[in-house]
């Protein structure tokens, strides 16, 4: 635990934002993603390190305040071009956007931030919204999701690829709106939530028109919890049957990213955080044996440097340059911490 917390903490910049991977990596992962910061903070939230959590979300709120004019434009008129959407990644020191094309239309990132701020404020009693400026910009994020009509807006989704209507993106927005609605100063029309719920349950268990099974669907179970038990069980069965591999979980079939086959088929990269993600879900379901099994598999993804990389190449122990991956380190910490607490009989 201490080792992996130290590794994860080393990815944080003085501003509070986390890099996706080590700061000197040449792949672009030295930048800060809204989504990655959401997942990287889960470990610190789990151990009760609220100073780190507050510092990260303070930086995220300052990002939105810096780019508030852009949110205003998107609210006034539904965006027609990708650059008009809220950007998903930023310079971790200046909070500036990066303008190169990277599948930058990612609605789930906004849902994630609303979800966590709402949960920390309402459920955990952790004060993040310090003044009227913070409350104003969070209200604008709600209005932004209404303007883009998130429930049928094609985006690049969690994997930042081709634009489609993604169940995981809709689910993140539904979860975010439901959670932030509990904060009394933020107004969320019930119809805005219902529109997303209707589309989400009509799409499931599919992720999108082109993808039947996708690792991103696990987010609808944890952390968002926006699926029925039947939907949950189908998603888990599909992920285990179609996507589970020896050194990780592939994102979806025929995933080209770091595919070992030059043709881009059948030798998909195996993502390490899939094991920890499944372990956390099975812990929540009180299926302890399955949780222990996936924690054991997650431990085996730790490389010779003591880090958990982003992925392993198909059927090999060769991993890519993005090591450590903050997201993987964080979910591993959450899984191990929760299982340790269970064995100590601590709630």
Per domain, the residue ranges of the chain are: 31-225
Close Cβ partners of 259 (under 8 Å, ≥ 6 residues apart):
265, 267, 268, 269, 314
- Residue 103 has a pLDDT of 83
Tokens matching residue 342: 């269970």
Q: How many CB atoms lie within 10 A of CB 301?
A: 24
Work out the percent of the chain whose per-residue pLDDT is above 90.
91
**CA separation for the pair 341, 322 (Å, rounded):** 30
- Residue 343 has a pLDDT of 56
Return the residue matching tokens 């906004």. 110
Q: How confident is the model at residue 342 (pLDDT cuts 50, 70, 90)?
A: low
- Beta strand pairing status for 311-312 and 89-90? unpaired
Close Cβ partners of 265 (under 8 Å, ≥ 6 residues apart):
254, 259
- Residue 344 has a pLDDT of 45
**CA separation for the pair 324, 332 (Å, rounded):** 12
The pLDDT tens digits of the residues spanning 99-131 come to 887 788 999 999 999 999 999 998 888 999 999
Close Cβ partners of 190 (under 8 Å, ≥ 6 residues apart):
none
Is the pLDDT assigned to residue 347 strictly greater than 50?
no
Q: How does DSSP assign 149-191, residue by residue?
A: TGGG--B-TTTT-S-B--HHHHHHHHHHHHHHTTSTTS---HH
Mean pLDDT to the nearest integer, 250-267? 92
Mean residue pLDDT of the chain comes to 95
The pLDDT tens digits of the residues spanning 212-240 come to 999 999 999 999 999 999 999 999 999 99
Return the residue matching tokens 């990815």. 11
Close Cβ partners of 289 (under 8 Å, ≥ 6 residues apart):
none
For residue 253, is the peptide bond before it cis, meaning its omega torsion is within 30 degrees of 0? no
Of 1.10.150.530, 1.10.8.640, 3.40.630.30, 1.50.10.10, which CATH number belongs to 31-225? 1.50.10.10
Tokens matching residue 277: 């993600």
- Residue 264 has a pLDDT of 78
Global pTM value: 0.96
Q: Are 213 and 244 in contact (CB under 8 A)?
A: no
**CA separation for the pair 137, 142 (Å, rounded):** 9
């Amino acid at each position: 635990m201490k080792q992996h917390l130290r590794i994860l903490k080393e990815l944080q910049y003085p501003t509070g934002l986390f890099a996706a991977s080590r700061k000197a990596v040449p792949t672009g992962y030295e930048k800060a993603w809204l989504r990655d910061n959401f997942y990287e903070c889960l470990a610190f939230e789990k151990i009760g390190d609220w100073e780190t959590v507050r510092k990260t979300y303070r930086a995220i709120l300052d990002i939105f305040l810096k780019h508030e004019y852009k949110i205003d434009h998107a609210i006034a008129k539904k965006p027609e071009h990708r650059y008009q959407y809220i950007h998903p990644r930023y310079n971790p020191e200046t909070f500036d956007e990066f303008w190169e094309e990277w599948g930058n239309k990612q609605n789930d990132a906004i849902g994630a931030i609303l979800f966590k701020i709402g949960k920390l404020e309402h459920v955990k009693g952790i004060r993040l919204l310090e003044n009227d400026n913070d409350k104003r910009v969070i209200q604008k994020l709600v209005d932004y999701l209404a303007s883009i009509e998130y429930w049928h807006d094609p985006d690049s989704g969690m994997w930042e690829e081709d634009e489609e209507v993604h169940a995981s993106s809709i689910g993140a927005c539904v979860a975010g709106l439901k959670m932030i609605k509990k904060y009394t100063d933020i107004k969320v029309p019930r119809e805005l939530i219902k529109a997303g719920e209707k589309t989400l349950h009509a799409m499931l268990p599919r992720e999108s028109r082109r993808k039947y099974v996708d690792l991103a669907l696990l987010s609808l179970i944890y952390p968002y919890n926006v699926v029925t038990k039947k939907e949950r069980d189908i998603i888990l069965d599909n992920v285990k049957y179609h996507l589970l591999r020896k050194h990780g979980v592939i994102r979806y079939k025929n995933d080209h990213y770091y595919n070992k086959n030059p043709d881009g088929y059948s030798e998909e990269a195996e993502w390490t955080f899939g094991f920890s993600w499944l372990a956390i879900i099975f812990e929540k379901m009180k299926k302890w044996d399955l949780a222990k099994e996936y924690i054991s598999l997650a431990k085996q993804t730790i490389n010779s440097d003591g880090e958990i990389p982003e992925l392993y190449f198909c059927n090999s122990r060769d991993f890519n340059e993005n090591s450590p991956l903050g997201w993987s380190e964080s979910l591993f910490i959450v899984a191990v911490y929760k299982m340790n607490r269970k064995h100590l009989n601590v709630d």
